[in-house]
Structure 1
Amino acid sequence: MTGRPITEDDLHAYIDEALDPTRRGEVLAYLDAHPEVERRVAAMAAQRRALRSALAPVAEEPVPPELSLARIIEARQSRWRSRWVPTWRSAAAAVLMVGLGGIGGWFARGTAPAASGIAALKEEAAANYQVYAADHIRPVELRAGDREELVTWISQRLKHPVAVPDLSRSGYRFMGGRLVATPHGAAALFLYDDDRGTRVAVLVRPMEVEGDTPMSPHREGPLAGYAWADRGIGYSLVADAPSASLHPLANEVRQQADRVGAASSISAIDSLKRKRILP
């Protein structure tokens, strides 16, 4: 073993059969020690096989004749030879638009739009909670004692100052955190637990859309949580606990994040003033 943590990227590469033999052996050993992750990976692999099997006939279909590039060019040249020049231009544009629309519809048939914004953030928080909060061997990469190193690492990767929320007043100890992969880039995952063994996760990442969104509740199966975005950074708190008990925790995280964001804005303004960019 190299000691390198097994990441979500490693799990996806394992499913895609894209790992080198050494790393594949490490992932297999990790899965043997983590049955809940092994079950999730097995389900993802089965889904991949099912999708490939279902889409294989579509990939083998010939391009429809009406979408043939040669036919489109022939139609365009034919209209060029006509004496109504303005007419051929309109028709050629129409043929091209129909062709492009047909191609898009042909390749996109049967696909569903992927979640984005806050909806995606909620799904990502729940998915990572299911993987890491249930892990009793290595739920985090850097533990609470390495808080300073964790904050520096996460802030650099997210290109935004990030502080670890303090939930001790509510009875939750900070366990540590890790960097996780999402379809929308890197994200920070912070984990907490209380004396009853309840674990709470806070996912933080930059938002390309819905960068300022009010807090709203969400539920993914047995998991409940709250998500919101402020100043282009999204937050989602999630746990296997009643939604009502999580609302005060989410408010606490939001208030602390607001203070960090305000301090960051003041620091940025001071920096611009020192550089004489602002008066």
Structure 2
Amino acid sequence: MHPFDPITEDDLNAYIDGGLDTRRRAEVERWLAQYPEEAARVMAELGDADLLREGLGDSGFSTPPDGETRHLAGRLRRRLIWRGAEHVMQRALVIILCLTAGYGISWLPIGAQPSAEAAHIVPLFADEAAEAFRTAMKEVRTEQSLAYPTPEVPARLAAIDAAHPLPIPDPPSQRWRLLGAQLAAWDRGDAVQVFWRHETKGTVMLFVTEDGVDPAEPAMAPTLGHTEEGDVIYWRSGPYLYALLGTADTKALERLANAIARPSPQ
């Protein structure tokens, strides 16, 4: 049983806004000490609030951030949670963020277990793919605006070893027409974005990259994840990482992913 009242979302929001008294603030911090993924979220929002106040030059600023700011804060949160769950680095990342925002917090435990929420956060590469698709849709990608008519050249350029280009699957049928491809940078290197268009289902983007950190991770079958940009299907084949998303419905994306997923070449 906790020695203090249950902490609610209203308490966390008040903590971020600086609206708690000393006693309640201490209770919130003691609660956050047991839930590092929530601490990551709170610290991200604290840092974001400080940046907003600084940018507006008004320490009394209380207007909620716009949609784009909330979108960026959400991405930061997901990155903190994913990296923490993946590399047990969450404590260090949160402390760095706290120091950047001016909060000297040192109570976060080492080796805390990720919550169920963290377990359902999509992998970083899938989140990057979703953001890349969002950007591409803003730019209204067409065959003329894509850098490469086919994915062979970017698959070689994005590979860790140019002699072993990223394996890019072909469209599963003639109803999926190749629009072209382009290179994209993400946190761990380069990726290839391949665009296909179906005669009735719309446009999809296949994001392909290579894991230069831990290529020995076991294969992963196509898995459905949810992001702010919509559903994404992601999988792993050897050291290669894939993510698929687009304007097609989720069932169509799943069928397409299962049709093109394949073991990595030996």
TM-score by length of 1: 0.48
